Structure 1
Amino acid sequence: HPFTLQNNTLQCLCVIPVASLTELGECPPSALFSLLSPLILTITSACYFHFRTRPDVLTNTPWNAPIIWEGVFDPYVSDQFHIRLNSSVALTVFAVGRFTFLVSAERHFMLGLRVTYYVFTDNPEKVPELELGPQRNMKVIEVAKYTRWQDISMMRMRTISVTIESEIRHSFQYVFCFDVDQEFKGRFGSEALGDSVALLHAHYYNLPKHRFTYDRNPKSKAFMYTGDFYYHAAIFGGRWKNVKNLTDECLENIMEDKLNQVEALWHDESHLNKYFWLHKPTKLLSPEYCWDETLPAKDILIIRMLWAEKYYETLRDKNNA
């Protein structure tokens, strides 16, 4: 078996017959890397997780996807691995007037990797000039302004999908999608990269399932009676193809609901939860990646991002008024 547990750390060994690579006409190590980089990524990612260091929290899902908490990963090993792979990340965000997000992202998001911020806004001239670090770029894209949540959700999913297809897929391996009303407070690094990445909602991660606010209206495409976890739509990501699949499916379901004059309980978040129930994420981010500081923080050793709960709830209240 390629995996063993030593000193509470998952170790792995992959044996490849060198003779099988001779037909490639190149050095076996480079052939191995070029051919098997997806496999190497999966194995190496597993190797820098130390699951038993956090017995106080859930660190694996029932389908064996890791849940990323402070203390369960080696940041140096993770960063060096992704730097050697030349991993690249596109960050999408819909700006609505608060740009603390972008300034704090420059201090904490995927440092050492190639990153481009895709800022979608109806007011491009208000996007501030930022002093960006090496390998960091920003692209501002104008989008129409909407006021209804269903229209906003449709626009977001459609815009992300179209931008992945037209630009991101040609230049980046990973995409992370964020709500703008958040602020990075600590490392948000390469340990978060994965094929399909979901975020555990800070308000629900330690509650029983019957407390989860799924959409339980059978008329909605977001309908769920039960599920695995409750995910926060403030952050989701993964390899570009998986993020495009997510946005396409959520958009299709939102549009079908609109045709049937149905609106999901929590809009795109309800549809995102349905998607991740049907298509299990391969990595989960713990609530430290989007924390609400009004909550008791007994499980939180570090706050990586703060969520502007009051602003978010104001928008929800206006929509329900």
Structure 2
Amino acid sequence: MRILSEAHFEELPAYYRGKVRENYDLPDGRRIIISTDRLSAFDRILTCIPYKGQVLTQTARYWFEATKDICPNHVLDYPDPNVVIGKRLDILPVEIVVRGYLAGTTGTSILTLYKAGERTMYGMTLPDGMRDNQVLPEPIITPTSKEFDGGHDEPLTPGEIVSKGLLTKEQWETLSRYALALFARGQEMAAKRGLILVDTKYEFGTDEHGTIILADEIHTPDSSRYWIAESYPDSFEKGLRPASFDKDFVRAWVAERCNPYTDEIPEIPVELVEETSRVYIKAYEAITGATFVPDDSAATPRDRIRNNLAAYF
């Protein structure tokens, strides 16, 4: 298996290692972002999934190019299938999640809050009597605080975002307009591929001029929930979750065998890793309509990236 487990190159400046991405800040204001194949869950790295980094980078590339008329994004160049050169931004302290359905499993998801009896959340009110996975009257934004120090994200209302000084009123209005337009484009394009874009998260930052710019990734299998459209009507009537790109084989396998937050992670079977890789590739092909072509042009993915980034050393 060809795996990119790390991409630390001493020849590149200002190194920062994230859970999945390796980052380097160049003196001229550009940032090199390398997507590895690491799989993060339970606040730790579980394993590596072959071609995951290439899938995520190329899926985001597809969407960045398809939405650049809606709002500016951070992309400057793609010197390698796992690498994007982007503008270095100051990330805004609010995470923007757009939802089109009453769905989700996290503590901040509208379905979790709804099942707990809450009807007023994120500055809006939902009616009684809604069912799991029901389409919302219109897509909504459910913003949360973005805790950079490892704390827990907390739900916010638009009024709180402005009153707490997290964003100005103008910034919030711009982010809202961008996010809803991006989501509408995503749903429209996904529908043509037989998919439902259920919800997604966006990350925005500002450049040296204060311009709001879309950063990180967009509409990838890691940042978004997709359902297979033809499965939705029957699944909804039966109260079941619609078919999706279920990449959580590894997460579920680990959780069944230990406390993943405190215990040593057991050795994960190769077959499970390979199946997860196939799901990522299937998701890329379903979302973009393109055939996934792995770049095996060098002895290892790391060697290929080193060659392609030589100009930046």
- TM-score bracket, shorter-length normalisation: under 0.3
Q: Which has the higher strand share?
A: 2
**TM-score, normalised relative to structure 2:** 0.26
**TM-score, normalised relative to structure 1:** 0.26
